Amino acid sequence: MLKIESGLFPLSADGVHVWTFHWPSLPDGLWIQTQKWLSPEEKAQAARYKIPDDRLRFSFGRFLLRFLSGHYLGLDGKDLQMGVAAHGKPYWQEEGEKLRFNVSHSGSWIAMAFAQEREIGIDVQMIDKSSRFNSEKIAGYAFHPLEVEAVKSAPAEEKMQIFFNIWACKESVIKMTGTGLHGALGKFSVLPVPEQERWQIIGCQQISPMIKMASIRMLAFDENYAGAVCIQGTKSPHILKIRSWDDLRQIFE
Ligand SMILES: CC(C)(COP(=O)(O)OP(=O)(O)OC[C@H]1O[C@@H](n2cnc3c(N)ncnc32)[C@H](O)[C@@H]1OP(=O)(O)O)[C@@H](O)C(=O)NCCC(=O)NCCS
């Protein structure tokens, strides 16, 4: 029995929930819970990370994904079986057609998005503020000409932020389609829509026809990060709700 539209965090048919977690601020006791929730495969994958922070970020991410997915599906998140599509996009084998999700992690942040029966992609990127990072050069070989121009024409003090905003938007698009990087980033362009919160996608539907109706929203983390969520379009517009650990605290503390 699906509980997507009921429970503590009801997710309506036109709803999109984005959860952002600053994982170093999660309570210490949560690590014990995390160990109880991961599948044997996830524990093995976590153990393969050599850098402790990578292991923690991945493990917390999978625990929170399982917890929230279980909540939305009305199932025990510990038992959910993860499948992986052709280019690596994970889905739940139980009711996977109903609940769509996507996860991203970078530095101190984990982000995940959930929707009903519409594809979704999310990305968070730590901004590389080192002087060695040449945003114009990287844009030149990875971005669409319209985006290269946007980076080049930006004032020096805004260049880095603009580069990473574009990068996060583009990754959210290819994570929505599920196609992965594969040299696709230069084939379409993302640009902010003046006076609106959303960004638009211009160009190539060769990657996926889903791009035609999709829309992008920037996400706020802190000044060192850029983030975006890309939502497949359907007839009804979506309603975006942003949530955080504060919404879960009462359950675990
Ligand atoms: C998807 C991708 C762009 C993510 O890159 P990233 O910025 O390093 O990582 P993020 O933290 O934003 O996202 C990682 C999450 O994306 C998800 N993911 C993996 N592949 C995905 C895909 N093709 N589409 C959408 N999401 C994907 C996973 O949930 C992963 O989380 P996990 O580490 O907990 O498993 C990159 O991994 C990619 O291009 N993968 C495709 C590789 C491919 O095509 N393989 C084919 C093998 S046949």
* Bridge partner list, 91: 83
Q: Whose CA is nearest to atom 33 of ligand 1?
A: 58
pLDDT at 5: 76
- Token pair, residue 106, equals 């970078």
Distance between CA 178 and CA 98 in Å, rounded?
A: 17
Which of 3.90.470.20, 3.40.190.10, 3.40.50.2300, 3.40.50.1970 would CATH assign to domain 15-252? Answer: 3.90.470.20
> What secondary structure, in 3-state letters, does the chain show?
CCCCCCCCCCCCCCEEEEEEEEHHHCCCCHHHHHHHHCCHHHHHHHHHCCCHHHHHHHHHHHHHHHHHHHHHHCCCHHHCCEEECCCCCEEECCCCCCEEEEEEEECCEEEEEEEECCCEEEEEEECCCCCCCCHHHHHHHHCCHHHHHHHHCCCHHHHHHHHHHHHHHHHHHHHHHCCCCCCCHHHEEEEECCCCCEEEEEECCCCCHHHHHCEEEEECCCCCEEEEEEECCCCCCCEEEEEEHHHHHHHHC
pLDDT at 1: 46
pLDDT tens track for 52-74: 999 999 999 999 999 999 999 99
Do β-strands 82-84 and 90-92 pair in parallel, antiparallel, or remain unpaired?
A: antiparallel
- Token pair, residue 170, equals 């583009």
Mean pLDDT, rounded, for 122-145: 93
pLDDT band at residue 31, thresholds of 50, 70 and 90?
A: very high
Mean pLDDT, rounded, for 103-123: 96
Q: Which residues line ligand 1 (CB under 6 A)?
A: 58, 61-62, 87-90, 102-105, 121, 123, 171, 174-175, 178, 180-182
pLDDT at 17: 97
Domains of the chain: which residue ranges?
Answer: 15-252
pLDDT at 2: 58
- Token pair, residue 30, equals 């949560």
Which candidate, 153, 154, 184, places its Cα nearest to that of 170? 184
* Bridge partner list, 122: 229
Indicate if the pLDDT at residue 221 is higher than 60. Answer: yes
Q: Whose CA is nearest to atom 34 of ligand 1?
A: 58
Cα(174) to centroid of ligand 1, in Å? Answer: 9
